[in-house]
Each structure stands twice: as structure tokens, then as C-alpha cells.
Amino acid sequence: MHYDDRGSGTPLLLIHGFPHDRTLWAPQLDGLSAHLRVIAPDLRGFGAWMDDRAVLTMDDHARDLRQLLDDLGITRAVVCGLSMGGYVALAFAALFPERLRGLVLSNTRAGADTEEARKGRKATADRALTEGVQGLAAELAPKMFSATTREHRPDLVDRVRTMLARQRPQAYAAASLGMAQRPDRQDLLPAIDVPTLVITGSADEMIAPAESHRMAQAIKNATLVEIPDAGHLPNLEAEAAFHAAITGLVTRV
Ligand code: MLT
């Protein structure tokens, strides 16, 4: 498994989204490792982790991450997932609740895909395998940012487009089919009993802020932070606010 591991103190495990790799978390490795042990792995199939499975489920990723914590000798971590990483974090919370010290659910949702969304996943998988990922990367990258970020930080859009364009078609396909299979996790939310932070961007065009509000209401111990003018990637678009929210959670764990 390929991962970055920087700093010391409370372990914070960062799980990237689709179709990212661990470089998504570069600002957090720089900005949070003075106070925390920040661990950012590539999920199976992405970044440096070659994998040719046809389907990668959220449970597969959660098991890989449990193995990583075992290998690092970490009993309990604050687990932070963004978007697909949030689906993985919820799978982790369902499978290994005893390994959680806190939970961060950023720009994600607890519900399963609709039938229509599942068809879209299948189309994405087929398209990646037949035509490659360049077109998908070019379409997806701008949608991950707010209009404000697109206007003022075109460098961020370029950086993410490049990240998306270097992932392998097999990873796009396997993760899309895996996301389509994920179960509805809404029943899990009331059972989460660690301090939880739900983060959203007020201008997230990919997962509506209302999804985050609903999740935060269903979790006993949750705080909600909605970052103004940020889109789907507030860790890049609003680094300072993102870090302040995480630091706030860590004081509660
Ligand atoms: C992500 O950023 O991980 C994706 O938007 C998740 C999804 O497609 O549901």
C-alpha cells in the first residue's frame, strides 16, 4: 500500500474520493501535520496502487484501511473521508467501529445510489474502459469546484484535472461499479458514537449540502460545518476553514 505518513500525535486517516489519489491531501499533510499524525493512502486501484479487479467495493477499501492501521500499529484513528472516501469511511464505521476515535464526513452522503445513478455508474465504467479517461477527467474536474473557485483559482482546477487524468481506466470502472453496489447507510448513523464532523461546501454541485445537513442531524455527536463559496473539494478550495474544522473535532476526541 502506498501512503504518506507525517507528523505525530492523534492519527488522522484521510480517504480520497473518486477518481482521486492521495495527492488530494497535499495541503492537509502540510497544514495539519504540525499537530497530528496525518496518514493519506492511495485507495486500491488509484495512484500508485495497481489493481485489476473488475469491481472495488467500499467494504474492500475499508478492509484495506483496517490492514494499514494494523500495519502501522494504530488501534484507533480519526477517520476522514471525502465523497467516495466518505462512503468508505461509513463502511469502515460499520465494519470496524472499535477502530474509530472520531469521524469526518466531507462532501458525502449516507444513502445508496438510485436506479438512475446506477445506470450512470455503468455508463462511466463502460466509457472509461472503451475510450480512456481523458474526456471524463476534463468533464469531472470543473464540476468539483464552486463557480468562485473556478474563476479565481484555475490552477486548482488544472491540478485536479491532471490528477483525474492519470488514474487508470480500470480504477474508474471498478470504483464506479463498487459505488453502485454500496448499501444505504442511513440506519448506521444513529449508532455512530464517536465525535463526528460533517463538512460541506455551500456551492457543492456534486453532492448537495442538504445531504450533509441530513447526515449531521441523524448522528448524535455531530457538528456540521458548511464552508461558504466552497464546492466539492473544500480541502483545496478553503484550506484554512477545513483545517480549523478538523482541529476543532480533534479537541473533542
Ligand atoms: C467523489 O468525488 O468521490 C464522487 O463525486 C462520489 C460519487 O460519484 O458519488
pLDDT in tens, 33-51: 999 999 999 999 999 999 9
What pLDDT, on the 0 to 100 scale, is given for residue 150? Answer: 98
User: Measured from the CA of 176, which atom of ligand 1 is nearest?
Assistant: 8
Dihedral sign for Cα atoms in the order 167, 94, 104, 62 = negative
Residue nearest to atom 9 of ligand 1 (CA): 84
Tens digits of residue pLDDT in 184-219: 999 999 999 999 999 999 999 999 999 999 999 999
Q: pTM score, two decimals?
A: 0.98
Ligand 1: distance of its center to the CA of 105 in Å?
13
Q: Is 38 helix (H, G, I), strand (E, B) or coil?
A: strand
pLDDT, tens only, 3-35: 999 999 999 999 999 999 999 999 999 999 999
The residue whose CB lies within 8 Å of the most ligand 1 atoms, and thus the one to mutate among 206, 212, 235, is 206
HSE-CB of 28 using CA atoms within 13 angstroms: 34
Find out whether the beta carbon of 83 lies less than 6 Å from any atom of ligand 1: yes
The mean predicted confidence, pLDDT, of the chain is: 98
Q: Which atom of ligand 1 is nearest to the CA of 121?
A: 8
pLDDT band (50, 70, 90) for residue 65: very high
Spacing, Cα 179 to ligand 1 middle (Å): 9
